[in-house]
């Protein structure tokens, strides 16, 4: 619009100069034309002399501009977009700034609503001349991208720990659970012999005393005290974010009690994942892994009737399949992490213990 007004003024000035025969107006019109050409040349050259890189350390996005030459860029406009890897949801932000000569950095603080992994990209970035007549995009600006993980901040939650099911420490990373197993260091029960029992587990002294065959039943050893199942059923960033945030809060609270856990989930390809969390660093790595194993964007759309429901994300099915494949693994507690509010989830946790 500004350029059109300026051109209109130039035309009117030339028309008046020719009509009135005023050399001063003709010189003014010539000067205005040269100024327009100079502005175009400067903006065009700046387009080739300015480059940009992006780095992300969520929630900060840092753009580094390298402006060669001694002339600054008085006006730059940029549209920065963000897209979640899981759902493709996201948003855009627009800003204007100037770029001095040399190298300069511009930081943006982002306040994204949900957690997950995603990509920042420069959707559009244009440079203008001193008068704002012309705008040219930064070279290859649409290829400038930066990825990041937006990890949840765990909340403190009060957890009732069912320690009555623990019978003793076996090592730094395993416990004995009051379930039948093969841990010979802990006798769970002594019972009557049943066909198929191992002779090596025979309690000979008690068998002689009772005049009946008696068997030692050992406890079971587990690598973790808790198994959490991430129940992804709804394809939305809100639901995904709530589930991972709920798990982070519960797992962090357990770690503060020096209690480890395993976390189980199924990705969009139907692949089951089981990861062990023993330290805060483990928790951060697992959350990042959960982010990067999901891509709802390419999954068939329920609304189009391609599939009846998100069966791979059903926590109940994932847990049932895990139990079938891992019959020798047990946990003090198995708990489903859903997208319920955290306080509701904690009520269910407590109800399980009563």
**What is the DSSP annotation of 108-170?**
EE---SS-EEEEEEEEEEEEE-TTS--EEEPTTGGG-EEEEEE---PPP------GGGEEEEE
Q: How many C-beta atoms lie closer than 10 Å to residue 72's C-beta? A: 15
pLDDT mean over 236-250: 93
Where residue 351 falls (left for φ over 0; alpha for ψ -120 to 50; beta otherwise) is alpha
Cβ–Cβ < 8 Å for 226, 330? no
**261: which residues sit within 8 A by CB, 6+ positions away?**
224, 225, 226, 227, 228, 251, 254, 276, 277
For the chain, percent of residues with pLDDT exceeding 90? 17
DSSP string, 249-301: HHHHHHHHTT--EEEEEE-TTS-EEEEEE-SHHHHHHHHHHHHHT--GGGSPP
User: pLDDT-derived band of residue 215, with 50, 70 and 90 as boundaries?
Assistant: confident
Q: Token pair of 83, please?
A: 């897209």
The span from the CA of 290 to the CA of 303, in Å, is 25
Task: Give the C-alpha distances (Å, rounded to integers) separating 73 from 37, 46, 105.
Answer: 17, 7, 14
Q: 122 pairs with which residues across the strands?
A: 80
Residue 45 has pLDDT above 70, yes or no: yes
Q: Which long-range contacts (CB under 8 A, 24 or more apart) does 209-215 make?
A: 214/190, 215/190, 215/191
pLDDT of the residue at 93: 87
pLDDT of the residue at 167: 39
DSSP string, 182-240: EEEEEEEEEEE--TT--GGGB-HHHHHHHTS-EEEEEEEEES-SEEEEE---S-SHHHH
The span from the CA of 43 to the CA of 131, in Å, is 10
Residue 127 has pLDDT above 70, yes or no: yes
pLDDT of the residue at 151: 92
Domains of the chain by start residue, with CATH:
46-150 (2.60.40.10), 178-222 (no CATH), 226-351 (no CATH)
pLDDT mean over 46-66: 86
Q: Token pair of 235, please?
A: 């394809």
Q: Token pair of 304, please?
A: 């189009």
pTM over 0.85: no
Cβ–Cβ < 8 Å for 237, 84? yes
Q: Token pair of 97, please?
A: 């700034």
pLDDT of the residue at 184: 52
Pick the more confident residue, 321 or 118.
118
Residue 222 has pLDDT above 70, yes or no: no
Residue 41 has pLDDT above 80, yes or no: yes
For the chain, percent of residues with pLDDT exceeding 70? 82
For the sheet with 226-230, list strands across it.
272-277, 261-266, 226-230, 333-337
DSSP string, 287-316: HHHHHHT--GGGSPPGGGTSSSS-GGG-HH
Pick the more confident residue, 213 or 204.
213
Provide the 8-state DSSP code for 42. H
Q: What is the pLDDT of residues 156-193, one digit of tens each?
A: 888 776 544 443 333 333 434 444 555 555 565 678 88
Residue 218 has pLDDT above 90, yes or no: no
pLDDT of the residue at 229: 93
Work out whether strand 226-230 and strand 333-337 pair parallel, antiparallel, or are unpaired.
Answer: parallel
If you average pLDDT over every residue of the chain, what do you get?
79
User: pLDDT-derived band of residue 114, with 50, 70 and 90 as boundaries?
Assistant: very high
The span from the CA of 326 to the CA of 328, in Å, is 5
């Amino acid at each position: 619009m500004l350029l059109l007004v300026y051109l209109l003024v130039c035309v009117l000035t030339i028309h008046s100069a020719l009509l009135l025969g005023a050399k001063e107006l003709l010189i003014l019109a010539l000067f205005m034309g040269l100024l327009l050409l100079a502005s175009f040349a400067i903006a065009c050259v700046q387009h080739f002399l300015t480059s940009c890189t992006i780095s992300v350390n969520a929630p900060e996005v840092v753009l580094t501009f390298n402006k060669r030459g001694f002339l600054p860029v008085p006006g730059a406009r940029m549209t920065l977009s963000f897209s979640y890897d899981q759902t493709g949801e996201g948003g855009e932000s627009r800003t204007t700034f100037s770029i001095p000569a040399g190298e300069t950095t511009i930081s943006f603080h982002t306040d994204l609503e949900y957690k997950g992994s995603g990509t920042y990209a420069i959707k559009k970035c244009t440079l203008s001349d001193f008068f704002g007549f012309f705008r040219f995009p930064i070279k290859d600006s649409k290829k400038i991208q930066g990825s990041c993980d937006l990890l949840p901040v765990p909340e403190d939650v009060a957890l009732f720990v069912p320690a009555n099911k623990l019978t003793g420490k076996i090592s730094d990373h395993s416990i004995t659970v009051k379930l039948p197993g093969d841990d010979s260091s802990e006798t769970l029960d002594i019972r009557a012999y049943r066909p198929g029992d191992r002779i090596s587990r025979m309690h000979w002294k008690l068998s002689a005393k009772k005049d009946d065959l008696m068997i030692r039943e050992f406890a079971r050893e587990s690598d973790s005290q808790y198994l959490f199942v991430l129940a992804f059923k709804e394809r939305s960033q809100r639901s995904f974010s709530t589930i991972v945030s709920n798990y982070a809060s519960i797992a962090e609270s357990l770690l503060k009690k020096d209690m480890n856990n395993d976390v189980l989930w199924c990705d969009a390809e139907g692949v089951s994942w089981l990861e062990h969390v023993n330290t805060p660093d483990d928790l951060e790595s697992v959350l990042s892994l959960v982010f990067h194993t999901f891509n709802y964007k390419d999954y068939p759309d329920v609304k189009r009737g391609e599939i009846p429901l998100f069966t791979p994300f059903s926590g109940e099915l994932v847990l049932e399949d895990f139990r079938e494949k891992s019959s020798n693994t047990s946990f003090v507690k198995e708990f489903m992490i859903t997208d319920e509010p955290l306080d509701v989830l904690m009520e269910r946790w407590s109800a399980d213990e009563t």
